[in-house]
Each structure stands twice: as C-alpha cells, then as structure tokens.
C-alpha cells in the first residue's frame, strides 16, 4: 500500500547520519545545511514512534530563557516526498507548522524575535507530506471495529489506518554560538482517536503540526524537570 510505503520512505529520507536538511539557512550564522550528530546523544524517551532525536550531552535547559522560532521552510531536495501535494499546500502546511509551534510553545515559554544570550533558535523544515485517504479513513474509524483499532493504536501512539502524516526536521541551536543543542527528524501523525483527521486529504497534515509542537513542548518540559 502506498501509505505504508510512503511513510517508510519518508522516515528514511533523513536517516543517513540523521541528515537534517534545513533549507533556507543561508545567511544564518554557523547554521549548516546538514547536521552531523557525532557527539550528540540519542534521546530515547521521545514518547512517539518514527522519531530520531539527539541532544548535546551538556544541554542545560536552565541556561536558556527564551525561544526564537524561525519560519519553517519547505525542503526541495531529491529525497523530499510530497506525493501529489502541490507547492501552495506545502507552503501552507509549513506556515501552519510555524504558527502551531509559536502558539503551543508561547503558552509556556518566552518567545523572542531576535538572537541573544540565553536564547534557543529553532529551525524547522517540512520534508514530506503523506495525504489521508478521506472516505476510507473516516469510515473505518466510525465503525465499531475501526474504533477499536484506533483506540489500540492511540495507546501505542501510532497513527490510525489510512491516516496521513508529515515528515519534519528540526534543530535547536544556541542562538549566539550556533552550537547544536538538539536535532530531530520525525514522521508525525495525528492522534489515532481523532476522527476528523481523515475528513480531507490534508487534514491529518494540519493536525500533525499541532502534535509536533506539543511533542517538542513536552520534551522541553522534561529537560527542565530532569525527567
């Protein structure tokens, strides 16, 4: 099935040394296009499947007091996987990803608009979109069997059958030194119990931007409390 194969292909797009490709980095100090994770340590408790995440071993959250969230870019390399999603929709989902990160993180952290001491700069890139199969996806989860399947997958943090996803890359830098603090590549799907995720082909992608922002918020909270 294309949905499964697409997610496998998308998950492997940035797997080589976690090549987190962030387009549009030209002009940003010490911000490389490809992040070498040598020297970083794996983050094992990501709380979501299909995530590769790393952080600097000496990353001390208490040293940072604000977040600079850059506009998410749309990756256009040969290994990008957007299927039949047009450029306009790609840009729309990328803009929504930025907006959701600012909305979700802004509720708990101080957001700033320029680099400075104690500021973490977050770069995001949208590197793939897998569309939902609307009729089949919603119908499956509205039947008794479908609801049981979705509830089971929800417990396991997995996507519901035939539900779409987004493939994103993100890097958090010390905004002054450019040092990489954490790096992630993830295929994110909406919660399996969200029956609206299959209503339109891109509804799952839209919902996934929120889930991605919430996952990063939770990660920052865990680093703050030492969990």
pTM metric for this prediction: 0.73
β-sheet bridge partners, residue 103: none
Secondary structure (DSSP) of 80-128: -B-TT--HHHHHHHHHHHHHHHHHHHHTTS-B-SS--TTEEEEEEEEEE
- Shortest CA distance to 168 belongs to which of 86, 68, 113, 101? 101
Q: Which letter does DSSP use for residue 198 in this model?
A: G
How far apart, in Å, are the Cα atoms of 156 and each of 86, 115, 173? 32, 38, 31
Q: What is the pLDDT of residue 51?
A: 82
DSSP-derived pairing of the beta strands 41-42 and 165-174: unpaired
Per-residue pLDDT 10s for the chain (227 aa) are 444 455 445 444 444 334 544 443 333 433 335 666 778 888 877 777 788 888 899 888 889 999 999 999 998 887 788 888 999 999 999 999 999 999 999 999 999 999 999 999 999 999 889 886 654 434 444 444 434 433 344 434 444 444 688 888 888 999 999 998 998 888 888 865 444 444 477 988 999 999 999 999 988 888 765 54
Q: What is the pLDDT of residue 49?
A: 74
Q: What is the Cα–Cα distance from 163 to 153, expressed in whole angstroms? A: 12
């Amino acid at each position: 099935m294309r949905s499964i194969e697409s997610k496998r292909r998308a998950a492997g797009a940035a797997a080589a040394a976690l090549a987190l490709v962030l387009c549009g980095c030209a002009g940003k100090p010490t911000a490389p296009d490809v992040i070498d994770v040598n020297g970083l340590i794996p983050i094992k408790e990501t709380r979501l499947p299909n995530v590769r995440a790393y952080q600097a071993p000496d990353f001390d959250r208490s040293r940072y007091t604000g977040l600079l969230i850059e506009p998410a870019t749309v990756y256009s390399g040969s290994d990008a996987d957007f299927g039949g999603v047009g450029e306009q929709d790609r840009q729309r989902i990328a803009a929504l990803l930025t907006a959701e990160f600012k909305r979700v993180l802004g509720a708990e952290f101080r957001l700033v608009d320029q680099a400075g001491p104690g500021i973490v700069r977050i770069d995001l890139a949208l590197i793939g979109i897998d569309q939902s199969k609307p009729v089949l996806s919603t119908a499956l989860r509205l039947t008794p069997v479908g609801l049981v399947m979705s509830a089971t997958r929800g417990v396991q943090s997995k996507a519901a059958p035939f539900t779409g996803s987004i493939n994103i890359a993100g890097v958090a830098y010390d905004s002054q030194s450019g040092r990489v603090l954490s790096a992630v590549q993830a295929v994110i799907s909406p919660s399996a119990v969200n029956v609206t995720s299959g209503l339109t082909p891109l509804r799952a992608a839209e919902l996934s931007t929120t889930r991605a922002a919430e996952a990063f918020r939770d990660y920052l909270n865990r680093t703050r409390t030492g969990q």
